[in-house]
Structure 1
Amino acid sequence: MAEQIGDRDGTKVNVKLLQRKRALGAGFASVIVLMGFTNWTSYQNAKQLIESTNQSKQTYEVIKSLANIFSTMTVAESGRRGYVFLSDHAEYLRYQEAVKAIVPKMQLLQQQIDTNSEQIAQFNQLKQLLDRRIILLEQSIQLHQKQPNDRTTQAEITEQSIQLREQIVLVMNQMQAEEEQRLQQWLNQSQTSIRSRYLIEFLISLSSLAIFLGFALLLYYQYAQRQQAEKLRSTLLQEKELSELKVKFFSMVSHEFRTPLSVILGSAQLMRDNEASWTKERQQKNLERIQSSAKLMKQMLSDILTLTRAEAGKLEFNPQPIDLEAFCLNLVEEIQLSMRSSHPVQIISQGSQRHVLLDEKLLYSILSNLLCNAIKYSSSTSLIELLLDCQPGQTILQIKDNGLGIAPADRSQIFEAFYRGQNSISVSGSGLGLAVVKQCVDRHQGNITIDSIEDKGTTFTVTLPHVGARSPHPPNA
């Protein structure tokens, strides 16, 4: 009986052990299946995230192409106006280059857009509008070459061109809005995939710790893959914001050009209609208005060209001997005349040298932008000081005003293109002046510092080393 009981107990134990082994085996198999399933799902999510990121990149490329087409069309229009109204042949060459560049950019956009009928229809509409506007611009060029004094027809062509530009902007905004909506959908899908991956990878971690530590390497690989995708997504968002800033900037430039162009056209029309009845004094005053508006447009175009050349590494540097004090006297007089400013500007000359080796064009951009800002952002009766300190190895230029000042929060970005301080929104401007100054100072291998107190004034100090005191191979040479 005892042996039978022992056999039965042993059999029961063996059965329990067998059941436990089977349970462990089944559990182990279940864990393996779960790990395989979670790994497969994680891989699919990662693959989906990468595909969504690629789609986001494609959407960004479409938005970028739209911005490039708009900016190129704006350059063509400004080149046409510069040639027609200023008779500047360089502007005509710039117009031709811009028109030639539109065709490949439209071809690139056609390759990037979806093949659905709505986008194709919008693309065809955009192409037709651009073709019509280019024809108008060419008619304006030909009219100027044949009848340079026919301002009435030129004004009509300009008005038609403006209407076409507004239609083009409307179509582009529609295309961009659809692309941005698609981009937002893709980004939302990416967020959902990321959340799913967090949950799946948590289950994988628990399973891996319960089985063996080898799966930790796989988790690390998947984590790195996710980080790379998130980094790419963040980069795409930043590029999207930059694209929007560019579109906004070119719209702002077009708006800024409209005012001086209207002054030029209106003044020219008045002079033509009232040439016999106007006195010489009144004619001279009207000519000064035309010249002032033309100089404003020329300065804006010059700033944009300087930044473009600097970004492309083609900003020229040609140092020549300059009588700095005489240069500054002429510059101050020119600025006060062009801005019709009554600001008192005091020039203080120090140092042991009179002539310095600097690039005259870059120096003009530095001082004109800083002085114009000092005049714009300070009251008409406050004194502006321009200190010139010419030393054997370097030249120090200091512009001091008693105007609005620069907030501490703005100083880290104040030299970025298109950026404007929060307290300067009420004053018109493009946000290009200080960016141009920084590029010109860097081209001299110099440096610029700011000392400013809000509502009390700002002092810019520019230090420019002379040619003999600098490296023989300056950057962007």
Structure 2
Amino acid sequence: MKGAFRGKWIPAGFCLALILVASISALSYRNARRLTNNAEQLRQSNEKLQIISGLSISLAYTEFRRVDHLQLGGLSELKDYQTTIQSLKLQLAKLNQFPIRLAKQQQWLATLNALTDRREALFQQLIEQQQSQKPNMMTPEALVTQIRQNQSSMHQIIAALQANEEAFLEGQAAYFQTGFENRLLLELVGALSTFVLLVGIYSVASYQKTKRQQAEARQQSLAQAKALSELKLQFFSLISHEFRTPLSHILGSAQLLEETLKSVVEPAKLKNLYRIQASAKLVTQLLNDVLTLARADAGKLEYNPSQVEIQTFCLNLIEDFHLLNEPQHAIKFSQQGDRTHAWMDARLMYSVLSNLLSNAIKYSPPSSTITFTLITAVEAIAFRVKDEGIGIAKEDLAELYNPFVRGKNAQRAIGTGLGLTVVKKCLDLHQGQISVESELGIGTTFTVSIPQGSDG
């Protein structure tokens, strides 16, 4: 389930990247449309300002010519002035074509149109008065006064329109600048976010690929190691089977010869026969140890615990040693605690304790005592084997449980260096522990402990 979820990270990340790019593109497009509309409004506002400026120039021209000068001037002067009025009306017509944003703008334009029409009518009256040389309903002074009032009102409205457009233009320019900056920022943030997301997806994909390759390499290595262990186990099983039978024959024949010749041959002359027996036992033990280690390495060392009566188990072990070995060493057994049964694999623990007792006998002087102590408690049981032998150097303790490793002072004794390795493998299956205390020339004490339940 977890692996399947991890496998969806990459497509999910790509989908997220596509959604992010699409969202940023949509926002950028909307922002671009707004900027385009804003630019169009800026163009229109700029044209309106140009028209309003033209209106101001036209009014300034009429003001420059001055009405009283026109009154005293000829008919051609008045007609030129009328042409200027027509120019004003054309400019107003252009101004009226633009969209109206505010109600007051429409009001201003309507008023300005009315004032322009009124101005045209006043100048028409002034022209007619010049042409007919007849008194009008209004005196020339009254007409001039109304024209000036009209001009002042038009100035005010044009100034208001110009101020309004300039304010709008300034606001639109600021909005355009802000929108442009926001678009740049949005596109920059979007590009960076997309880049970071894609880099993250690539990193996750690379990490998963590396982990997968490592897992495949690890599985391949484990498979090769397992296959090698299987081959090694098969090889040692075959070797052990092929050698056990002739070794049993050799050992049995040597023991039979010993029994036959013991009464007729001096003990000194049986030395070579004893060597044959010792060598046969050594090779048999070596085969047993190698086969046990091969099974342990292949994970096929069987562990079948059961409730074992531990005192009887220990006494049977000691009896076997007395039967198989010359009674040159005394094995002193004692028990501490009243526990009677223990949960353990009797076959494996027999191998553990027989190796420890064999080493104690091997590295101790003749006629010395081997102390074998059983310690029982609710939470664990312990076996302690103490000898009076040559001891173990401190520098050799660190590699004591490695295969084929022997102490520097133990090279003269016959051995393979596999016994303690077998002990450690068997104890690991029991989740047990082993400790050692040793002093050169005084002896060594091995203590093996096995955890127990509270109902044993």
Which TM-score applies when normalising by structure 1?
0.42
Which TM-score applies when normalising by structure 2?
0.43
- Greater C-alpha Rg: 2
